[in-house]
Structure 1
Amino acid sequence: MKHLKRAFAGAASTLLAMSSAVFGANSAAPAGSERDIQQIVQSGTIQICSTGDYLPFTHLDLQGNWSGLDIDMAQTLSQDLGVRLDLVQTTWATLMQDLGAKCDMAVGGITITPDRAQQALFSAPLLEDGKAAIVRCEDASQYTSLATIDQPGVRVVVNPGGTNYDFDRANIKQAQILVYPDNNTIFEQLTNDQADVMITDASEIRYQTKNNPRLCGGGDTVDHPFTSEQKAYLIPQGNQGLQQRVNQWLARAENDGTYAKISEKWTGSALTP
């Protein structure tokens, strides 16, 4: 709990005062039907939005099965509240408009950003992260910095609508940006030599390189990322009651080892906020 308190009171405190999001299943609440914690408990169901395309945090397969670190955590939240979990699929491009309209909150590797914090609330931070490069292993010594990546002839692939896209638009000026719509299969663009580099969160790179021996981090960018960021859960703006209840649950999940156990299952190491 002390880790959560430190993170919550630290550098991200300004953002946390203004943040949050929602993601989930097959049924959705009507537009404009934002619910407080009492209404959620009384209904017997919490609707949580997620993109389903961002391992190790969230994944939705072709058979409609959900998995991932934050999906497992969402299940423990529903159990803690004594309600059923209803997962609602969203996209990175529609995440903010779906929050509160289609779901009570959102999970799935969501980065705390000033823009999102102006529109929603965030839970206490879950982990530290940052943008780094993932490449074919034979090119790992070639793409070691933004300067070596942002060169004419280099192909940088990116999924639309999220912080990866925002980062590339702000920082890639000479290399070619290739927008690829399916974040579940985007890494095949690297292994099939359709792109040279993808810039994404170090947490995702660690997961992908662990599971695909052809992919590596570019230089030491995974251990020393281009940016410093935090991930959290997203909650509709003004719903401080739900934010407080989620933070209470997160504190318990850290203290009793739930978060460490689930994060180790998905990342290979027990994470602490």
Structure 2
Amino acid sequence: MIRRHVTVLTGTALAGLLVSGCGGAGSHDSESAEGGAEGAETGGDSRLDAVLEEGVLDVCTTGDYPPFTEYDEEADEYEGIDIDMVRGLAEEMGVEIEWVRTSWDDLMDDYLADCDIAVGGISINADRAQQVFFSRPLMADGKTPITRCENVDDYRTIDQINDPEVTSIMPSGGTNQIFAEEHYPEGNLVTHDNLTIFDELAEGNADVMTTDRSEVLWVANEYEELCAVNPDEPFDYFEKAYMLPRGDTVFAHYVDQWLTMSLHDGTYHEATSEWFGDDVEIEVP
């Protein structure tokens, strides 16, 4: 299969997106979680302290969103860009990972109940930022259509897709569904399992999918039948990052420092090149 050149752009630094209030407790002691939310700037306990003390980092991920997170049922293990990254974080901390399998519908609830960090191609948006901190972004992105290659000219604009005769396919519960419902109210919107959604598109059982540019470029490499429509002119702009406990500036600062080093020392390039190819170009902030 011919590999296309892929350019991945990292976003401008968001060092510790600050939102007031207490964070939801994960599987660690609730007093530690509350200390991270309320006392991080005054020397109180942080989730970082609890993770280091217990030796376990609880990680939420969906496992259904390559190239960022994918669960291999046969091997019984996760793989992907963000999986490799969070494994590196755990190694740096000297702790083990406890994986928490979640879905896009349940991501926030599962994170607040059970996890220290959530990874796997997660987009920053205002609704999520009301409940969690985000790490500094790792990638700039935007919603972009993908369709069968012979149909590219039919779905270049929102107006073309927002049509009752056009079937847009999407997984439920994530930003793809939110975008489609907002921008294609007249379109025929259907949901499908994220693990086989591109098979449906390739087989012609749906007309188009609007998803993240990064995913579109990866899928276009994997499926000869599918082509990115406007990969250099996405419909909007957002950034991908990791979810962290709201209010815990100590933990957020630690993760951000580690990510800054990883973006500049080759760690992130190594994680992305396996999926996008060795010619990937990363513009770091």
TM-score (norm 1): 0.88
- Name the SS of the counterpart of 1:156 in structure 2: strand
Instruction: Indicate the residue corresponding to 2:191 in structure 1.
Output: 179
| Structure 2 CA distance for aligned equivalents of residues 4 and 209 of structure 1 | 20
How many residues in Structure 1 have an aligned counterpart in Structure 2?
255
| Structure 2 CA distance for aligned equivalents of residues 4 and 170 of structure 1 | 26
Q: Does structure 2 conserve the Cα–Cα contact (< 8 Å) formed by 1:126 and 1:272?
A: no
Q: Does structure 1 conserve the Cα–Cα contact (< 8 Å) formed by 2:168 and 2:208?
A: yes
Instruction: Indicate the residue corresponding to 1:7 in structure 2.
Output: 13
Instruction: Indicate the residue corresponding to 1:43 in structure 2.
Output: 54
| Structure 2 CA distance for aligned equivalents of residues 4 and 194 of structure 1 | 34
Q: Where does the alignment leave 5 or more consecutive residues of structure 2 unmatched?
A: 1-8, 21-25, 34-45
Instruction: Indicate the residue corresponding to 2:206 in structure 1.
Output: 195
Please tell me whether residue 55 in structure 1 is matched to residue 61 in structure 2: no
| Alignment CA distance shift 1:199-1:6 (3 Å) | closer
| Structure 2 CA distance for aligned equivalents of residues 148 and 136 of structure 1 | 15
Deviation at 1:84, TM superposition (A): 1.0
TM-score (norm 2): 0.84
| Structure 2 CA distance for aligned equivalents of residues 266 and 253 of structure 1 | 17
Q: For residue 54 of structure 2, what is the amino acid of its counterpart?
A: S
% same residue: 38
Instruction: Indicate the residue corresponding to 1:114 in structure 2.
Output: 126
| Structure 1 CA distance for aligned equivalents of residues 200 and 29 of structure 2 | 36
| Structure 2 CA distance for aligned equivalents of residues 147 and 138 of structure 1 | 19
Deviation at 1:270, TM superposition (A): 4.1
- Name the SS of the counterpart of 2:83 in structure 1: helix
Deviation at 1:189, TM superposition (A): 1.3
What does 1:61-80 correspond to in 2, within 5 Å?
61-63=72-74, 64-80=76-92
Instruction: Indicate the residue corresponding to 2:226 in structure 1.
Output: 215
| Structure 1 CA distance for aligned equivalents of residues 273 and 183 of structure 2 | 33
| Alignment CA distance shift 1:31-1:168 (3 Å) | farther
Bigger-Rg structure (1/2) = 2
Q: Give the RMSD, CA atoms, in angstroms.
A: 2.2
| Structure 2 CA distance for aligned equivalents of residues 84 and 91 of structure 1 | 22
- Name the SS of the counterpart of 1:187 in structure 2: helix
Deviation at 1:17, TM superposition (A): 2.0
Q: For residue 104 of structure 1, what is the amino acid of its counterpart?
A: D
* Deviation sequence 1:204-249 (CA, Å, 0-9, x none): 000001011110012xx21100010100000121222211110011
| Alignment CA distance shift 1:67-1:242 (3 Å) | same
- Name the SS of the counterpart of 1:271 in structure 2: strand
Q: For residue 29 of structure 1, what is the amino acid of its counterpart?
A: S
Instruction: Indicate the residue corresponding to 1:164 in structure 2.
Output: 176
| Structure 2 CA distance for aligned equivalents of residues 223 and 4 of structure 1 | 15
Q: For residue 183 of structure 2, what is the amino acid of its counterpart?
A: N
